[in-house]
Chains A and B, each alone.
Chain A
Amino acid sequence: MTTQTNVTEREQNGAERTRTGRWFRPPVDIIENANELLLLADVPGAASDAIDIDFEDGVLTVEATVASRWNEEATPLLQEYGVGNFHRSFRVSEQIDASRIHAEYTDGVLTIHLPKAEAAKPRKIQVQAAG
C-alpha cells in the first residue's frame, strides 16, 4: 500500500530556451517505498561534481553537464547517439523533508533520495479492544 503520491514532470518554461549547447532528457525511474521516493536517472558521462540537484517549491531539478568527448581530428564512422548535458525537472506533490534529500552517483546513474516528511508516512492505527 502506498500513500497518494504524485510526481509530475514539469513543463519546460521559456527560460530553458536560452540554454546553449545540447541538452538531453535523461530516462528516470521513480520508485516509492514507505520512507522515501527514489529517483534514478541515467546521466552517463557526467562527473559527480558536474551534477546539480535543486529542490525548491516542490520542484526537483536535475542538471548534469557532460564534457565533450569529441576529438576534432577523428573521423566519425558511425554516429548513433548524441552527447550533451542532461536536464529534467519534476513537480513532487508528496510532502518531502527537503533537509534530508541526498544523492549518490555511481556508474553513470544518479540516485536521489527524497525522504518523506513524517506527516506523509503511512501510519498503522492500533484499534484497541474496548474494555
Chain B
Amino acid sequence: MALARRTNGMYPLDQLRSQMDRLVSDFFTPMTGRYAARSETQGRGFPALNVWEHNDDLYAEAELPGIKSEDLEISVEGGDMTIRGQRGGSPSEETTYHRRERGSGEFVRVLRLPVEVDAEHVEATLKDGVLLVKLPKAESAKPKKIKVSAG
C-alpha cells in the first residue's frame, strides 16, 4: 500500500516519552473519529506531537486543522507545556452525515519538557492547521563550552 497509515516513529528517544509526556486528561468530551481511535489505541491523546531540538531551541509541532488561534491556549509553567483548545462541530441544520471521521470537542495535552525553557520567549504560530511552538532553552539548559586550561 502506498497510502501509509500514520505510524509511530521509531526514534530511540520515543522510549523516553512515558517520562516526558504526562497526559493529564484526554478530552473533556469524547472525540469521535480518527483522533479518538488514535488516543485509545496509543494512549497519547490529542493532539499528537512531534518534538525536536535544534541549537538552543526546542520545537513542538501539532496538526490542528480547523482550529482557530482564538480557540487555542498554550502555556508553559513548571517545566510543562500545556496545549488546550477546542474544535467545533459542523453546521447542524437539515443535514445528514454520510461520514464522520473528523473529531470535535475540547482537548488538553500536557508535555513535560525535557529541559528548562525560557517561558517569556515562547513563540507559537498556527498556519494551515499546523501549530509550531518554539521554546528557547533557558540559559541554564544551554550547552556550555568548558575551557581546559593548561596546568
Give residues in A with beta carbon < 8 Å to B.
2, 5, 7, 12, 16-19, 22-25, 27-34, 37-38, 40, 42-47, 69, 71, 73-84, 87, 106-109
Tell me how many residue pairs across A and B have CB atoms closer than 8 Å.
159
**Given A2-B96, A44-B63, A80-B9: A24 touches B4 (CB 8 Å cut-off):** yes
**How far is B98's CA from A40's CA once the two chains are assembled, in angstroms?**
11
Tell me whether chain B's interface is mostly helix, strand or loop, or mixed: loop
Q: Looking across the interface, which residue of chain B has its beta carbon closest to that of A80?
A: B48
A44 touching B128 by the CB < 8 A rule?
yes
B101: chain A residues at CB < 8 Å are: 27-29
Q: What would 7 A/B residue contacts be, using CB atoms closer than 8 Å? A: A12-B1, A29-B99, A38-B90, A71-B52, A79-B50, A82-B4, A108-B66
- A25-B5, A30-B98, A44-B64 are known; give 4 further A-B pairs, CB within 8 A: A22-B4, A24-B4, A38-B95, A78-B51
B1: chain A residues at CB < 8 Å are: 12, 17
B2 touching A12 by the CB < 8 A rule?
yes
Listed stretches B54-62, B116-124, B143-151; interface member: B54-62
**How far is B102's CA from A74's CA once the two chains are assembled, in angstroms?**
31
Q: Looking across the interface, which residue of chain A has its beta carbon closest to that of B37?
A: A27
Chain B 7-39, CB-CB to A under 8 Å as 1, else 0, gives 111010110110011000000000001100000
| Residues of B105-119 contacting chain A, CB below 8 A | 111, 114
**Given A44-B128, A46-B128, A107-B128: A78 touches B2 (CB 8 Å cut-off):** no
Q: Looking across the interface, which residue of chain A has its beta carbon closest to that of B100?
A: A29
CB distance from B8 to the nearest CB of A (A): 7
